[in-house]
Structure 1
Amino acid sequence: MTTEVKPQPVIEVVGLEKAYHIYDAPHDRLKQIFLGWKRNYYRDFLALKDVNFEVLKGQSVGVIGRNGAGKSTLLQLLTGTLTPTKGSVKINGKVAAVLELGSGFNPEFSGRENIYLYASLFELKKSCIEERFQKIVDFSELGDFIDQPVKAYSSGMQARLAFSVIAHVDADILIIDEALSVGDAFFAQKCMRFLRQFQERGTILFVSHDLAAVTAFCDHAIWLEGGVVRDAGTAKDVCEKYFAQLYMQHTGAEGAAPVAEVAVEDEEFEEVIEEEPEGEIIEQRIVMQDDETIYNGAQEIESFGFNPQSSTFGTGGAEILNVSFTNAKGRQLTVCEGGADVVVKVTAKATHDVDLPIIGFIIKDRLGQPLIGGNTYHSYKESPIRVRAGKRVDAAFHFKLPILAVGDYSIVAAIANGTLHEHVQLHWMHDAVLFKVVATSIDGVIVGAPLDKIILTSKD
C-alpha cells in the first residue's frame, strides 16, 4: 500500500499584519520623536490584517485585488523588504522577485553594472554572473543599450532587464508584480514561455489586474480586499467572484453572485431576436452576413443541457430562462465538422421594461479563458427592440464553430440594458451550458482555424 505524499509548503503565512504610522501634519513626526513617551501623535493604518495562507511546492498562485488592497505590501513582506508588524512569514526556498520597476537598480549605473548588482542580491557569485552574463543580455534584447545608464531606460526596458536577471538566478520561487504589463507584446510572450517552463519545476506567485491572465496561468488565487483575504481557492472560482463584486460595485448594485470576467467581442454572426417566440411574433429582424461554406475534420462533441443552477449575478429586470447549443437544424451536437454551422440560443424574460437590450454569449475553456463570443449590440443598436415587462426575447447566434481542442467547455450567457460600454447587467449566467470535445483533428493549440484552402508548393 502506497501513501500519497502531500507537497510541502514553500510559503507559509500566519497571522500576518502590517501597520503604517499616519501623521496628520508634518510637525507631528517631530512631536513623536520628542514627546512620544507621553502619547502617540500618529494613527495606525493596517495595510494587512491577520492574513493566513500557504503555497505548496509547484503551485502557481495569483494574487488579485483593487489598488490599495495590500497586494504590494504582501509581496514586500514575502521578499523581506518590509518587516511585519505582527505574524510570521516562512519561506522554504530561494526567492527571486520583480516588484516595483527599478527596485534593486542603481539608476546611475549602466545596465551591465546593474546586472552584477541585481544578481548579487540573489546570492550569485561574481564568477557565476560572468558565466551567465551573455545569456542575460541576449534574453533582455537590450543590445548596445546594456552599457547605457538605467536612468535613460524606458519602463519597458527596465522590465526587460529585471526579468532577464531573475530568469537566470536558479530560483525556487518567483514573485512577479505586474512588471510584464509595461513590456512590449513580443517580450511579454517570451516571459510567459519562460514562466510556463518554470512552472514545471518551481513555484510562482503572480500579481495582476488581468483576470484572464490569472485564470489561464494560475491554478490557485488569493483575493485581497482592504488588507484581508476575502477569498482563496481555484483561480477560476476566485476570479469569478472578484469580477462579480467589481461589476456590481461599479454599477452601484448589490447582491452579486460569482461570475468570471470577459469582454464580449462581436464576430460574424447571423442574429435573430424574437419576442414571445412560442406565440405570435411581435417583431423580428434578421441580419445576414454571407460567407462561404467551410469544411474541416470532424470533432466529436458531448453536449449537456441547460444548467439553471449555475452561478449568476445581475441587478434584475430580466431573467435568462434557457440557453441551448445545437446544429443549424436545432438538434443537439454530437459530431460536428470544423467550420460547421451551429447555433447558441439565449431565451430571456423581462420583469421590467428593457429599452436597450443586449444579449450575448461567450464560450470558455475549462480554465475560464474566453475563446469566442458575440452579442446583439452592433447589429441592433440603430433600431433596438424594446422588450416590455412580462415578455420574452430570443437571441439566436448562428456562426461557424472553430475546431476546438479536446477538453471541457462552458457557455456563458448574459442580458444587459444599455450600450456596449455603458450598460447595466441584468442577468449574467456562468456555465449555462457545458459541453465536452472528446475527439478532434487538432493538437497543440486551443482553437484550430477552419481552413478554406491549403496550398503546398514545391519549387526549384
Structure 2
Amino acid sequence: MGEIVISLNNVSKCFKRYARPVDRLKEILIPGKSSCDEFWALRDINLEVQKGQTLGVVGRNGSGKSTLLQILAGTLQPTTGEVSVNGRISALLELGSGFNPEFTGRQNVFFNGRLLGLSHQEIAAKFDEIAGFADIGDFIDQPVKTYSSGMFVRLAFAVAVNVYPEVLIVDEALAVGDVVFQHRCMRRMRALMDSGVTTLFVSHDSGAVKTLCNSAVMLHEGRIYTTGSPNAVIIEYMKLVTQEELELLNEAKPTNSLESSPAFDPDRILGEPSELTPTLLHNNGNGKPQRRGNRKALIQDVRILNSLGEYSKENLVFNFNEEVTLVIDLVAYELLQGCIVGFFVCDKNGNEIIGSNTWEENLQIGKLSPGEKLTVKFKFRLPLKPISYSVTVAGSEDYTSVTFDWIDNALVFQVLPPDTGKNIHALVDLPMSTEVSRNFSFNVSVQV
C-alpha cells in the first residue's frame, strides 16, 4: 500500500442556522440554551487518498462536496473527527478569492504565492511561467479590478497550477476562459497528475471525471454513498439522479409491471458476466450491466453482428475496422409520444468513443403503442485500438424526457490488432493521406 497523503477519520461538519439574528445573540448571552437549527453538511466521512492518486468527487448540489474540499484546504474546520493532509496544498475552490482588486496582476501573483508558502525568490523564478500560462499580455501590470472575468480566472488558475503543489484540490474550475485556455488547463492538470501530484477533483462533468481520475467517491446527503472506479461511481450517480427525477415527476409505475411481464427476461440481457464474454470489463465493481429508467418501454435484447451478419455471445471478438451491426430490440409498455434509441461504444474508463441515435440519424420513429415492438440497427466500423470496449444503449421519448431504459455495459467486445502489423497508438485510427516534401531554400557550394 502506498503512502497516505490525505486521511479523514469520522469527519463531520455542522452548520448552525438561526431564524433571527437575535437568536444568535441569545445563544451567546445564555450559555446552554440553543436557539438554532443544526444542519449537518457532512456525516462520518472516512477516506484515505494515496500519494499520486487522482480522486474524483461527485454528487448532487448540496451533497457536501464543497464543504469536504474546504475542510481539506483548511478554510473550514470539522465539527468532529480528524483530518490529516501531508504536503503543500493548492486549492482551486473560488478562483481568485485571495486577489486584491487594487493590486496589479503581478503583485497578486507574488501575494498569492506567499500565501501558498513560496518564498519571494521562488515566485520570481516561476513568474514568467505563470504569466505565460495566463497569457493576458500587458494587463499583468494593470490593477485586477480592470480585468474581465475571463482574464481574472485565467490568472488565478495560472498561479494555482504553476506553484508545483503536492496536493491539488479542484472544485469545478476547469471551465474557465476560452476553448484554447481550457485545453491548456486540461493539459496542465494531466501533467501535474502524471508527475505524482495527489489530486481531489470535484466536477459535474462525468466525462472529465472518467478521463482524469483513477478512482472516485460519491457523496449523498453528507455521507459517502459509494466508492470505486470512476465509471462505476458515475453509473451509480446517474442511477440516483434518474430515480430522483422520477420521484419529482411523480410518474406512476406502469400497470403492466416489467418484473411480472412474460416479455421481461432480465437474464437475457443482464446475465452473469461469464455468459457475456471472457473479456468482460469490471468497471462497476461486479462487472454486470446496470440499468435505469422510467420503464415505459424496455430494451429486451442487444447484440452485435459481425460483417457476415453472425452473432455469438460467447465470442464477441471483431477484426480491426470490421463493419458491424448493433441490433437493439425493445417493447413499449405504455403509450410513447415519441422514441429515440441510441448507443455509445465506451473504453474501459467509460469514455464514449463511438455513438449515435435514431434522431441524429434522421430516423423519426414517432409514437409507439403499448405492446408494440421495435428493432433498431446501427451499422458502423471499428477503427479502434485493439483493447476491450463496452456498449451502452438507451432510449427515451425525446431529449428532455427521462430515459425509459438505459443499460450500461450491455455488451463487452474485443477488437483485434490490424493484420497489416500497424501499431495503433490512439483510441481511434482513421484512414489518412500522408505526404512528405523536401525543399532546399539555399544553395550549398563546396570548395575543394
* Distance in 1 separating the partners of 2:87 and 2:340: 51
Counterpart residue number, 1:55: 49
Counterpart residue number, 1:407: 387
Q: Percent identity?
A: 37
Q: In the superposition, relative to structure 1, how do residues 304 and 228 fare at CA in structure 2: closer, same or farther (>3 Å)?
A: closer
Alignment partner of 1:232 is 2:251: no
Q: TM-score, normalised by structure 2?
A: 0.83
Counterpart residue number, 2:30: 36
What secondary structure does 2:75 align onto? coil
Choose which of 210, 214, 223 in structure 1 pairs with 2:218.
Answer: 223
Name whichever of 134-143 and 151-160 sits farther off.
151-160
Choose which of 130, 139, 159 in structure 2 pairs with 1:136.
Answer: 130
Q: Is the 8 A contact 2:42 2:68 kept in 1?
A: yes
Q: In the superposition, relative to structure 1, how do residues 178 and 86 fare at CA in structure 2: closer, same or farther (>3 Å)?
A: same
Q: State how 1:256-267 maps to structure 2 within 5 Å.
A: none
Q: In the superposition, relative to structure 1, how do residues 69 and 335 fare at CA in structure 2: closer, same or farther (>3 Å)?
A: closer
Give the Å deviation of 1:446.
Answer: 2.1
* Distance in 1 separating the partners of 2:143 and 2:246: 46
Give the Å deviation of 1:167.
Answer: 2.6
Counterpart residue number, 1:329: 308
* Distance in 2 separating the partners of 1:141 and 1:70: 34
Counterpart residue number, 1:375: 357
* Distance in 1 separating the partners of 2:340 and 2:278: 26
What are the Cα deviations for residues 164-185 of structure 1, in whole angstroms up to 9, with x where unaligned? 2233323211111111112222
**Counterpart amino acid of residue 415 in structure 2:** V
Choose which of 154, 164, 172 in structure 2 pairs with 1:160.
Answer: 154
Q: Is the 8 A contact 1:159 1:180 kept in 2?
A: no
Q: In the superposition, relative to structure 1, how do residues 137 and 318 fare at CA in structure 2: closer, same or farther (>3 Å)?
A: same
* Distance in 2 separating the partners of 1:153 and 1:74: 31
* Distance in 2 separating the partners of 1:335 and 1:234: 27
* Distance in 2 separating the partners of 1:458 and 1:303: 50
What are the Cα deviations for residues 230-272 of structure 1, in whole angstroms up to 9, with x where unaligned? 11111111111101211232233799xxxxxxxxxxxxxxxxx
Q: Is the 8 A contact 1:155 1:182 kept in 2?
A: no
What are the Cα deviations for residues 47-102 of structure 1, in whole angstroms up to 9, with x where unaligned? 11111111011110011112222111111110111111111110122211111122
Q: Is the 8 A contact 2:18 2:24 kept in 1?
A: yes
Q: In the superposition, relative to structure 1, how do residues 88 and 309 fare at CA in structure 2: closer, same or farther (>3 Å)?
A: closer
* Distance in 2 separating the partners of 1:197 and 1:378: 36
Give the Å deviation of 1:442.
Answer: 5.3
Choose which of 90, 115, 120 in structure 1 pairs with 2:84.
Answer: 90
Counterpart residue number, 2:370: 389
Q: In the superposition, relative to structure 1, how do residues 167 and 309 fare at CA in structure 2: closer, same or farther (>3 Å)?
A: closer
Give RMSD over aligned pairs. 2.7
* Distance in 1 separating the partners of 2:161 and 2:32: 51
Counterpart residue number, 2:121: 127
Name whichever of 181-190 and 53-62 sits farther off.
181-190
Total equivalences in the alignment: 402
Counterpart residue number, 1:352: 334
Structure 1: 5+ residue runs without aligned partners?
Answer: 1-5, 256-301
Q: In the superposition, relative to structure 1, how do residues 175 and 378 fare at CA in structure 2: closer, same or farther (>3 Å)?
A: closer
Choose which of 298, 301, 304 in structure 2 pairs with 1:319.
Answer: 298
Counterpart residue number, 1:248: 243
* Distance in 2 separating the partners of 1:303 and 1:50: 39
What are the Cα deviations for residues 11-58 of structure 1, in whole angstroms up to 9, with x where unaligned? 00011111122111123233333x332522222221111111110111
Name whichever of 147-156 and 223-232 sits farther off.
147-156
* Distance in 2 separating the partners of 1:304 and 1:367: 15
Q: Is the 8 A contact 1:304 1:434 kept in 2?
A: yes
Give the Å deviation of 1:112.
Answer: 0.4
Q: In the superposition, relative to structure 1, how do residues 95 and 379 fare at CA in structure 2: closer, same or farther (>3 Å)?
A: closer
Counterpart residue number, 1:203: 198
Choose which of 171, 180, 185 in structure 1 pairs with 2:179.
Answer: 185
